[in-house]
Amino acid sequence: MAIEGPTYVLITGIRTARSSTALDALQTSPFAKSVVTFKPDVTSADSTSTLLHDVETLLSKEGGHLAFLVNNAGMGYSMLALHLDDDRITQVFETNTFAVMRICRTFAPLMSTSGHGGTIVPYVFGSAYNASKAALHAYSDTLRLELAPFGVAVAVVVACTGGVRSNISAKPRCIPATESLYPKAVRDAFAGHRYSQAGGVSPERYAESLVKKLLRRGGRGPRSRWIWEGGKAGTVWLLDTFFPRTVMDAIFSRMYGLSKMERL
């Protein structure tokens, strides 16, 4: 039975604690009349509960349904594994992993009533960040099976190295020589670490391509559990699928100075 009424997409992470630029731009865009904004803290259980109440109120008022949940909120953290900060590690997991689990758990009942939907979960020097995303991938794979009986599709979006141009790595980083076991060649590579932007596509192009893939098969998305998207995604998929892991290891080792260290 088709569900009548407007279809809503809930997207987290449009506004950050430091900047509302993207949200402000959205509110002055041609889509402004179709956008309803909330200001939750996704790392807070109380704030997430308030968001659920606000969304339920909106759906009840408009007679609509929640069709897609996009977990876009997240934070990056680029640092050599031996120099990780405990507080930053906690922040990364709170935002990238635990908050997504909470959001999915909170809004899954609303999505199951719609009969369809997608839960989207949006590098060397990124051990803490990678660990948080690896946990999220494992969680999403299980969630995909558990929500399938309710008609809710779960897709993991793999935005590969060089994926999308953004400011996630814009802040300068450096490691004092006195605090590191790594030689100058590796520290210099880390300080100049901007690879995620070098081959990135524009956010607009990324979003357009991603939405097309998610809307396949009547909104159930692609059959594959992972969606590879972003600049160089095809190359990374090819290397990961058909070549031994040593090939990828060698590429990254050369890119970030680790191969030079091996010869020192």
Q: How far apart, in whole angstroms, are the C-alpha atoms of residue 216 and residue 104?
A: 22
Domain count, the chain: 1
- Residue 28's pLDDT is 78
Domain contains 68: yes
0.85 exceeded by pTM: no
Domain contains 179: no
Question: For the chain, how long is the longest CA-to-CA vector?
Answer: 67
Output the six-digit token pair for 215.
């809307």
Domain contains 261: no
Output the six-digit token pair for 38.
């909330």
Domain contains 250: no
- Residue 87's pLDDT is 94
Q: Is 129 a catalytic residue?
A: yes
Q: Is 133 a catalytic residue?
A: yes
- Residue 221's pLDDT is 58
Check which CATH number belongs to the domain holding 107 and give it.
3.40.50.720
Indicate which residue of 77, 129, 195, 206 is catalytic.
129
Q: How far apart, in whole angstroms, are the C-alpha atoms of residue 90 and residue 24?
A: 29
- Residue 32's pLDDT is 75
- Decide: 49 and 107 in contact? Cβ < 8 Å: no
Domain contains 114: yes
Q: How far apart, in whole angstroms, are the C-alpha atoms of residue 144 and residue 208?
A: 24
Domain contains 257: no
Range of the domain at 83: 7-164+199-232
Per-residue pLDDT in tens (0 to 9) along the chain, 264 residues: 445 668 888 888 876 655 667 777 777 777 777 888 888 899 999 999 999 999 999 998 988 888 888 888 888 887 777 788 899 999 999 998 999 999 989 998 888 765 555 555 554 445 677 788 888 888 888 888 888 888 788 877 766 545 676 665 556 556 665 666 666 666 666 665 555 555 677 878 877 887 887 777 655 555 666 777 777 777 878 888 888 888 888 887 777 667 766 554
- Decide: 39 and 88 in contact? Cβ < 8 Å: no
Which 3-state string (H, E, C) describes the chain? CCCCCCEEEEEECCCCCCCCHHHHHHHCCCCHHHCCCCCCCCCCHHHHHHHHHHHHHHHHHHCCEEEEEEECCCCCCCECHHHCCHHHHHHHHHHHHHHHHHHHHHHHHHHHHHCCCEEECCCCCEHHHHHHHHHHHHHHHHHHHHHHHHCCEEEEEEECCCCECCCCCCCCCCCCHHHCCCCHHHHHHHHCCCHHHHCCECHHHHHHHHHHHHCHHHHCCCCCCEEEECCCHHHHHHHHHHCCHHHHHHHHHHHCCHHHHHCC
